[in-house]
């Protein structure tokens, strides 16, 4: 059966960095906000004997090599012999360099679930999406989400703190040089700071959970920045730099804006693009301060994975 699902991206306030075991079992719990549909992936899947091999079309481009292999390996979890056709489109601006694996594997997991009529619960879907990409386990749920171990769970839904915003500043549109998978492994093997990070992360998680439950932007923003800085310090210790000069310039602007009280946080994943977390009322001030950096994508807390009858083929 042909099935279609849509999932949104998410931004981690407390980052997943490092694996305890195969299948993306994380070293530490992580907390994220699911973004709205400005950053989403829609995917249609059909398993059928009429396909003599897997076919994966992403944003109108037929994928081969590593991207196809990763998707095929994921489909192996479901298939009973048949190959499949997968068509995906991202709402992300083309070549924005924004990671799409979270929304991509969350949408793919759900589309496979429906296509094979497995009727999985969200917990099962989250555990499955996790196998494609760790952060995808969180995109199954709307709003504020915590992932530890096998699967993620919702902390709060998308209307709970709807004034919260994520402004994505596109700094570089290139693909990342070192995959998060390789960088995580090197960090775990070689970074001394990483051992400290893991020892202390439960405290950070507790502060972030509390800040969300109190809707306290100032405490939340302070911990988000410390957490992003900490992850990147571990990564830089082993000689990998994801942030570039523009990323550092954005950090400085946000630090200056916060000098009379914290109103916004910067946070960076495995790349130079900045995510600025703030509230609706501070948006104009922050947009003004960042106007020189070109296109800004503003997102609210958004929906979890959902199904659509409008197939892509």
Instruction: Please report, as ranges, the residues that interact with ligand PMV according to CB under 6 A.
Output: 12, 15-16, 30, 101-102, 133-135, 180, 269-270
State the minimum distance, in angstroms, from the CB of residue 107 to ligand PMV. Answer: 14
DSSP 37: G
Nearer to ligand PMV, 233 or 312 (CB): 233
Gap between the Cα atoms of 285 and 21, Å rounded: 44
Nearer to ligand PMV, 16 or 47 (CB): 16
State the minimum distance, in angstroms, from the CB of residue 132 to ligand PMV. Answer: 9
State the minimum distance, in angstroms, from the CB of residue 202 to ligand PMV. Answer: 16
State the minimum distance, in angstroms, from the CB of residue 270 to ligand PMV. Answer: 5
Residue 19: exposure state from Cβ atoms within 10 A (0-12, 13-18, ≥19): middle
Gap between the Cα atoms of 190 and 238, Å rounded: 7
Q: How far is CA 233 from CA 227, 268, 269, in A?
A: 10, 12, 12
Helix (H, G, I), strand (E, B) or coil at 46: strand
Nearer to ligand PMV, 16 or 161 (CB): 16
State the minimum distance, in angstroms, from the CB of residue 142 to ligand PMV. Answer: 17
Helix (H, G, I), strand (E, B) or coil at 125: helix
Give Cα 313 distance to the centre of its chain.
Answer: 26
The answer to whether residues 299 and 38 touch, using CB atoms and an 8 Å cutoff, is: yes
Nearer to ligand PMV, 126 or 180 (CB): 180
Nearer to ligand PMV, 10 or 278 (CB): 10
């Amino acid at each position: 059966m042909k099935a279609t699902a849509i999932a949104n991206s998410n931004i981690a306030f407390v980052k997943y960095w490092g694996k305890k075991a195969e299948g993306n079992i994380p070293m530490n719990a992580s907390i994220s906000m699911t973004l709205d549909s400005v950053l989403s992936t829609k995917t249609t899947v059909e398993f059928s004997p009429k396909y003599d091999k897997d076919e994966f079309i992403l944003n109108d481009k037929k994928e081969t090599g590593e991207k196809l292999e990763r998707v095929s390996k994921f489909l192996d979890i479901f298939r009973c012999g048949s190959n499949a056709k997968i068509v995906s489109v991202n709402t992300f601006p083309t070549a924005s360099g924004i990671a799409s694996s979270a929304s991509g594997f969350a949408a793919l997991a759900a589309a496979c679930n429906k296509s094979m009529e497995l009727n999985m619960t969200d917990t099962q879907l989250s555990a499955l999406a996790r196998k494609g990409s760790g952060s995808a386990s969180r995109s199954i749920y709307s709003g504020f989400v915590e992932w530890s171990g096998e699967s993620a769970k919702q902390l709060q839904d998308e209307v709970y703190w709807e004034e919260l915003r994520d402004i994505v500043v596109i700094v570089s549109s290139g693909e990342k040089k070192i995959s998060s998978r390789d960088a995580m492994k090197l960090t775990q093997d070689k970074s001394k700071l990483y051992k400290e990070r893991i020892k202390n992360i439960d405290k950070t998680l507790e502060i972030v959970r509390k800040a969300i439950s109190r809707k306290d932007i100032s405490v939340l923003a302070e911990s988000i920045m410390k957490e992003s800085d900490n992850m990147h310090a571990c990564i830089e210790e082993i000689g990998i730099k994801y942030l570039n000069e523009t990323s550092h310039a954005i950090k400085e602007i946000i630090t200056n804006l916060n000098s009379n009280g914290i109103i916004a946080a910067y946070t960076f994943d495995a790349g130079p693009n900045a995510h600025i977390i703030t509230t609706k009322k501070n948006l104009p001030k922050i947009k003004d301060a960042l106007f020189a950096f070109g296109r800004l994508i503003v997102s609210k807390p958004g929906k979890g994975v959902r199904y659509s009858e409008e197939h892509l083929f």
